[in-house]
Structure formats: structure tokens, C-alpha cells
Amino acid sequence: MAEQPCLGPPASPAAPNPQTHPRDKWSKKMDFLLSVVGFAVDLGNVWRFPYICYQNGGGAFLIPYTLMAVFGGVPLFYMELALGQFHRTGAIPIWKRICPIFKGIGFAICIIGLYVSFYYNTIIAWALYYFYSSFSGTLPWASCDNPWNTPDCTNYFGKSNVTWTNFSRSPAEEFYTRKVLEIQKSGGLYDIGGIRWQLLLCLFLIFTIVYFSLWKGVKTSGKVVWVTATLPYVVLLILLIRGATLPGAWRGVVFYLRPDWGKLLSTAVWVDAAAQIFFSLGPGFGVLLALASYNHFHNNCYRDALVTSAVNCLTSFLSGFVIFTVLGYMAEMRDVEVEDVARDKGPSLLFITYPEAIANMVGSTFFAIIFFLMMITLGLDSTFGGLEAVITAVMDEYPQVLAGRRELFVLGLITVCFLGSLSTLTYGGAYVVKLLEEFGAGCSILAVVLLETIAVSWFYGIQRFSHDVKAMLGFTPGLFWKLCWVAISPALLAFIVISSLLDQPPLTLFEYQYPEWSISVGFLIGASSFICIPLYMVYKLVWTPGSLKQVRKKIPVCGVICSTFGFSSSTQSMSILH
């Protein structure tokens, strides 16, 4: 049976053929919006944006960030929502209708989704451990009088004549490294040690929540996000008000927003801005495709894209105030500059710096409980989206096998994710988390998004895609969106990928320098997902009937140009068949 043509004249503005099996629909429009916001707003909004903002010029960074969002992130966000809603299928089978030879993109997206689940849920498990530990009169990371503390532990809050040196370690840092992770029992990646049973239990509870939120599809997950997507905003508001009343809070805000215009001349700042917006909005992970595929055909996905992406960016900006009011307070207490306090980045900002400040506030137990509850809900939302992308893609690709067996398939997927996470629960698990975070979904996901954009805009054709959007919304995307999809967004993505590959700083964590062999393993992890794309192309070329010359005639190069710029040619409607 022949598939939709890969190249050629625009298709008629009609919905795709109805599916054999009835497809779930969102019960309410807000279920969908909250699911998209919940996926896009994750732990990275709380720590990555504030850190990158102050590192790259403070208030001046907002200029490249906004430009990258307008010309790169939001257009691709809109494209993915429109693709998912029109074709109403997941990330793998959708390529049968767009351009079959690029079907490897769908498999690559699923593999990246698995890699992310292997480490991301472990970070949520750490938050759950902190959440449990917060139910005490005195927080366990508030003093240096615990069995896990060392002579380097220095508690300067409420004390005078305390000298803070480069060797000093706060009680919060030692709680994180020596109690939660017990990283002192690991010699590095050569010797990651045994599994921490407490973290194993926490991760099991996290995956149990994830399973019972996803097992029935969007009918259940759409209800759960009413709590997990809204609660973080309530907590952020409470923490912002509390942070603004702390002594020295103004120092943190000034440091956060003080513009350093000279930074704008640095290429690295623009790369960071582009990378931040793409990773924050999340095009390319298949999540937007999956969530939008459960929409009604005529849902206004254009408005949804603008609203949800704006909410995501504003949340990042708001999180900066929440974080930096507290960093200003800590700088005041340590009698040092804010820059010296803000050395921590990544998860360390969430598990060391902020908890340390909370431990020395009035009502510390309450603020610790709501802070880590916020982290858990932020993480769960993104996990729901990431795994739903894999579930939808695979179930839509193999409906004859998996139709009516969603509960069993989800259980199998959760089991695979749990087993794949075991290495991150060891004493040296933090080193594995860092490695997977850097390479599992780094350049590979950006390269996948780049190819996805090229396949849709150049091969499927921007005119055909615009006709699809008009069939749903009643109007054609404007010239701005078409220019972004065809040229500007792909150029930005290529710029980030090339810059990231050329500039590979040494990988370190807690003063541990990653060995060269681990970097090679990291590159193999990244390549293992992306390699699906060329491998599937080769497979398709080899297994398509006919000689190589006949096969080549089925993929004429000029078809790309004709389709992109709207020229019709009936001789160019052939495609590689499924």
C-alpha cells in the first residue's frame, strides 16, 4: 500500500484518513495546556536559566534569549504542535505521512527519551529523599554535628568570626554528597560501588506514581497535571515573597539582572541562549507531537503554542528572582560576593545552595517541604511528557500488537526505565547522571530537531505544511513563520550543533575529572540514537524494489526545491514506499 508522497505538489487541505482504532481525546482543553506547560516547565527552568543568565551578562542576556525564542524556539514549538494535531499519530509512524525515508528520526527520539528517563527520574528520587528528610524539627543539613560530617564542615549562619575558605564545606553540601549520594564510597566511574537502597526505594515510588498516571492514557495523566503543573507556581510565589524579605536579597537581584553589554559580543553567549530556549521548550523530544495528537482536529494550536511558550519563558525569568534573592541572602551571611556563592550550577544549586539557605530561615521545615514538593512535581510533569512520547510513538507504530494492551506496554516500559536507572543509584551514581545528562540528550537531540525541521520544511514542503495548518485553523501561517521554518530555525540549530561539537570543555563533577574513555563512551551514547536516522535511510534504499537508478528516480533532488517554493510538478510525487 503506497504512502503519502514525500515530495511534490501540496496535498489537499483535508484531515488524514481516520485511524483503524479509535483515538483518545483530551477531556478538557486545559488538560492539554497544563500537560504541555508541565512538560516544558521542568527542573531546568529553576536552575539552568538563572545560572546561564547571570553567567552571560545578566539583564543583557535577555536580548539574545528573546531573539532566539522568537526566531527559533517558538516557531519549532508551533510546528510540532501542528504536525501532531494534523496527523494524529506519534513520532515514529508520522514519517509515513511526511517523508518515509526520515522515519529513523522517530526511532532516535524514542531512544533519547529512554536515556533521559534513565537519569532524570533519579534526580526526582533525590528530591523525594530530601522531601522525606524535611519532616523533622531540625533539618539534617542545618548543622555539622552529624555522623557524616567531616572536619571541613563549616556552619557560618548565626555565628561570628567564622572564616570561609576554599576548603570549607557547608552542612548542606556534605549532606548531599556524603549522606544522600554517599559519593565518598565511590572511586569514580572505575568504581561506582553498590546501590543505595534508600534511593532505590525512592525511585521505585517515583516510577509507581508515573505508571498509575500514564497507564490509562491522557484520561488519567490529564487529571494528574492539574496538581503537578499548578502546584509549582503556588510554591514559587511563596518562595519569592519569602526570598524578597530576606536581608541581602537586593544584592542577588542586582547581580542577576545587572547588564554586562560586552558579553553580547561573545559567540558563546548566543550559543547558550539558543541552547537554553531549545532545551527549555522541548521541540524534538516527540512530546509535543504526542500530546497534540490527542487534540480535536480544529483546535487552535497556534494560540496554544504562543501561550504555553510564553508561560515557559516567563517561568524561567521568575525562577531567577526566586533563586537569586536567596543567593543574595547567603552572600550577606557569608560576607562574600554573590558571585562566590553562585559557583554551584546544575542540580547542585537545587540540592546544596537553596537547601542551605532554607535551613537557616524561620520556618525552615515548612519551606523545605514545599520546595522539594515543587521539585518533585516539576520533575514528574516532564517525565509524564517524555514517556508519553515513547508510548504514543510505539503504540501507533504497532497497533495490531499493542492495541488494547496499553497497561501492559506501559508496565514493560516503566520496568525498562527502572532497570536502566540502576547504575545512577550507586554510590557513584551522580557521575553516571552527569554523563547521561551531557551526552544522552545533548547534541543528538539538537541534530534530530535540525533534521526534523529540514524534512518537514524542505522535503514535505512548506506549502503543503501550510495547507495542513489552514485545514485545521482556517488560515495559512504568515511569511514570518515560513521563513523561520525554512531558513532561520535550521540555521540556528546548525550553529548550536557545530559550536557545541567544536567547544567541548572538560567534564567535571565535585572536583572529579572524567577520564578520556568516559568521554568516548559519552559520544557513543549520543551517536547511538542519532545513528538510527542514516541506518534507516540505508535500509529503505536497500529494501525498496528496483535498481539503484530506479530508486534514485523516486527521490528527485529538484522535488525539494519545487515543494518548498510551491511549484507543482506531477512527475515529482513519487516517494519511497513503506
Q: Report, in this order, helix, strand and coil percent for the chain, each rounded to 5.
A: 70, 0, 30
Question: Is 40 assigned to a binding site?
Answer: yes
Residue 344, annotated ligand binder?
Answer: no
* Residue 172 burial class via C-beta count within 10 angstroms: exposed 0-12, middle 13-18, buried 19 and up: buried
Closest CA to 491 of 525, 520, 450: 450
41 annotated among ligand-binding-site residues = yes
Number of Cβ within 10 Å of residue 63's Cβ equals: 16
> Which ranges of 217-284 would DSSP assign to H, the alpha helix?
218-228, 231-244, 249-257, 267-281
280 is in an annotated binding site: yes
How far is Cα 100 from Cα 104, in angstroms, rounded to an integer? 9
Q: Is 114:542 a contact under the CB 8 Å cutoff?
A: no
Structural contact between residues 389 and 289, judged by C-beta atoms closer than 8 angstroms:
yes
* Orientation angle between helical segments 104-133 and 197-214, nearest 10 degrees: 120
Residue whose cell numbers read 575558605: 165
User: Read out DSSP for 375-401?
Assistant: HHHHHHHHHHHHHHHHHHHHHHH-HHH
Asked if residue 312 belongs to a known ligand binding site, the reply is: yes
Please state, in angstroms and rounded to a whole number, the distance separating the CA atoms of residues 418 and 422: 7
Is 382 annotated to bind a ligand? Reply is yes
Using alpha carbons only, give the angle 351, 354, 359 rounded to the nearest 5 degrees.
Answer: 100
CA dist list (Å): 77 to 158, 422, 430, 458: 48, 33, 31, 18
Query: Contact at 8 Å (CB) between 108 and 532?
Result: yes
- Is 381 labelled as part of a ligand binding site? yes
Binding residues: 38, 40-41, 45, 280, 312, 378, 381-382
- Please state the residue numbers annotated as binding site for Na(+): 38, 40-41, 45, 280, 312, 378, 381-382
